[in-house]
Structure 1
Amino acid sequence: MRSLPLLALTGAAALSALTACGASDPAADPAALTVVSTDTECEVSRTDLTAGSHTFTLVNKGSKVTEVYFYAPDGKIISEKENIGPGTSYDITVSLPAGDQQIGCKPGMVGDGIRQDVKVSGEAAALDPRLVKAVADYRLYIDAQVADTVSVSEKFVAAVKAGDIEKAKELYAPSRFGWESVEPVAESFGDLDPKIDAREADLTDEEKAGWSGWHKLEKALWEDGSAKGMEAVGDQLITDLKDLQDRVHTVDITPASMANGAKELLDEVATGKITGEEEAFSHTDLVDFKANLDGASKVFELLAPVVKEKDAALATALEGAFADVYTALKKHEKGDGYVSYDTVGADERKKLTDVVNALGEPLSKLAAAVA
């Protein structure tokens, strides 16, 4: 679940290292494509583009954390970048289809944001057949992960409704694993994400009245020690997850969006898992960490044949950096899962932060390598 501005700033140390990766100085090249977000405007340097891959420098000149969205002609999200802090910039490579579309900025990461119309003409070059296969295989991966989420969540909710607290606690983190591994895809359905994965700390007092999803159940199980009255919340979670399962087949996927999603997954680790903000009551953050990491690693695995040919040094760097993160995470395994994150001290959290940041730098270049 994306964090709102207050929480995004809480993880500023980890986040700044990630958002700086790959960012360039837009002033150095007047012809560069830029999207400048302020508190009141979303300025796109060019609004007449050709179909195909483009690299944009996203610049936040506002006072609030912002995010930038690229919308297809049918309104679906092509790609996005969240948690762009004030005074920072970020490079993102996006594959744009032909047609009238929009680029949007969302200062404060709330509301509908500010949108700029963009006209894209021409026809994009044909994809490398290996990338066509990578996209097809990633669709299969997404389907499998969401199906697993629904299956395990049904068992989790059954335990909640039966009042079996220990069984529900045991199933809580596994029920979220598939979701976390494909979180950027799941989050592209903006109406479902808040219903399924909203955290209490992200909500206003008014929004708390309608709070639903995993984290409401998490609080009941760990803080209240009771699932009484949570039956309807559990049923709604399954309804929303099945809705996601039906709709995920419609999501637009390109090699660039896969790569950007992998980076988003790592950013999720930096801003929610390492800080301990994601699982405030259960402290099962390391399970989410593993799921995010697995999702990002799967994307690289699928794109690797092309990356190794186009940029062998980048492929080698990513292989090593992924291995380092897995090694660091493995130290915290306990049985089939991980230790409670509230038992992981500051020094160990710093080690996790360091390897995540080290992976973030080469991972930010993955989209450009397959564009």
Structure 2
Amino acid sequence: MSSTFLRAAATSLAVLTPLALAACGDTGNGNQAAPGGAITVEAKDDACTLARTSADAGTLTFEVTNKGNRVTEFYLYAQGDRIMGEVENIAPGVTRKLITEVAEGGKYQAACKPGMQGNGIRTDFTVNGNAQKQVDANAKLAEATKSYQRYVNSQVDPLLAKTTEFVNAVKAGKVEDAKSLFPVARTYWERIEPVAESFGDLDPKIDAREADLEEGQQFTGFHRLEKDLWVTGLQADAPAIADALLADVNEIVTKAKTVELTPAQLANGAKELLDEVATGKITGEEDTFSHTDLWDFAANVDGSKAAVAALRPVVQERDATLASTVDEKFKAVEDLLGKHRKGDGFKLYTDLTQDEIKALAESIDALGEPISKVAEVVTK
């Protein structure tokens, strides 16, 4: 597959989604927001300017415009870098919304991440007072979060089991067994990745790609072992890397079973999973050594669908047309993926034609647009 085409595919999908510390705060150049309204954010390659740096507790909306030259991300962090909300893959010239529920007052941090790397350009952000949580005020939203938590629990146990099998195969030097288990274990990981991403540095330790490593960052996790298995051969430290992977997955599993999710997080997570497809799977950059990207692609779609399914009663009640459109677009993506099944899994990414990749890209584009509206519907 030509790199030119892959870059073009990635660029066409950027509308879906999505370091020295520079100054980031209130602006004096007219970038103002009405109290209680959406908070505009101007993201550049060396600055991140918020219209205001405080808000009352409740549902917060950030409108982030990328005026830089690199793809960026925007995050709202609680203490300990716990992610309250994020919007990824904001291409130059694109505006994306982050809608997140923050019911507890206190000190937070907003961050832009030009190039989608590093700790970002940060500023302190204050949430005033406290607000009733949506799940306490709306029985259907409360059930939605419980439903999705049940889904997460159904995925983390097989994630741990299959990762254990994968690690044991690596440590035993059983290369072919490890290769066959690699995409299976990752399927369960990719279905719940937005939950996993909320736990600080565990996500990059488990899932960082070699091309995305920052200076001084060790290459660990699934993709390091993927390179060993498909490219270099198992290295002397492969057993230690495998043990660390299993320990990190164990920690994720324990935390994921108790994490408290908000309706906004479910809706944002559904979109984030599609963004994962847009920036990694559809370009072949995620599983660059094994070319098992379609397993990840399908898992991200599964996870996105599960999050939306949990919220569907509320979406159906408030916007039946949107609910029907989302159902239709999910089916279109699933039907297209079905054409690329092979045995119990999928074709290798390198076996796809450019037309097939383009069709997948267009189907995710068509699904991403209505999914991006779900957060606004469930938080209004």
TM-score by length of 1: 0.89
Taking a change above 3 Å as real, the CA distance of residues 169 and 122 of structure 1, as seen in their structure-2 partners, is closer
Partners of 1:171 and 1:131 lie apart in 2 by 36
Q: 5+ unaligned residues in a row in structure 2: which ranges?
A: 1-5, 19-29
Taking a change above 3 Å as real, the CA distance of residues 133 and 159 of structure 1, as seen in their structure-2 partners, is same
Correspondent of 1:58 among 46, 56, 64: 64
How many residues in Structure 1 have an aligned counterpart in Structure 2?
357
Cα displacement string for residues 41-64 of structure 1 (whole angstroms, at most 9, x for unaligned residues): 322223332222233211122233
> Is 2:188 aligned against 1:178?
yes
Identity, % of aligned positions: 45
Residue 3 of structure 1: aligned partner: none
Letter in 2 for 1:338: F
Correspondent of 1:48 among 32, 42, 54: 54
Residue 138 of structure 1: aligned partner: 148
Partners of 1:324 and 1:95 lie apart in 2 by 31
After superposition, where does 1:112-131 map in structure 2 within 5 Å?
112-113=119-120, 114-124=122-132, 126-131=136-141
Q: Is the 8 A contact 1:165 1:227 kept in 2?
A: no
Taking a change above 3 Å as real, the CA distance of residues 118 and 215 of structure 1, as seen in their structure-2 partners, is same
Correspondent of 1:152 among 162, 186, 192: 162
Residue 11 of structure 2: aligned partner: 13
Taking a change above 3 Å as real, the CA distance of residues 201 and 82 of structure 1, as seen in their structure-2 partners, is same
Residue aligned with 2:252, SS = helix
Residue 102 of structure 1: aligned partner: 109
Residue 360 of structure 2: aligned partner: 352
Q: 5+ unaligned residues in a row in structure 1: which ranges?
A: 1-7, 21-25
Letter in 1 for 2:272: E
Partners of 1:190 and 1:346 lie apart in 2 by 36
Residue 23 of structure 1: aligned partner: none
Residue 317 of structure 2: aligned partner: 309
Cα displacement string for residues 247-276 of structure 1 (whole angstroms, at most 9, x for unaligned residues): 224544110111001000001011100111
Q: Is the 8 A contact 1:103 1:117 kept in 2?
A: yes
Partners of 1:16 and 1:28 lie apart in 2 by 27
Runs of 4+ in 1 over 6 A off after TM superposition: 26-30
Residue 212 of structure 2: aligned partner: 202
Residue aligned with 2:100, SS = strand
TM-score by length of 2: 0.87
Residue 255 of structure 2: aligned partner: 247
Partners of 2:197 and 2:234 lie apart in 1 by 29
RMSD: 2.3
Partners of 2:168 and 2:143 lie apart in 1 by 38
Q: Is the 8 A contact 2:44 2:66 kept in 1?
A: yes
Residue aligned with 1:282, SS = coil
Deviation at 1:286, TM superposition (A): 0.6
Partners of 2:80 and 2:239 lie apart in 1 by 37
After superposition, where does 1:332-347 map in structure 2 within 5 Å?
332-347=340-355
Residue 77 of structure 2: aligned partner: 71
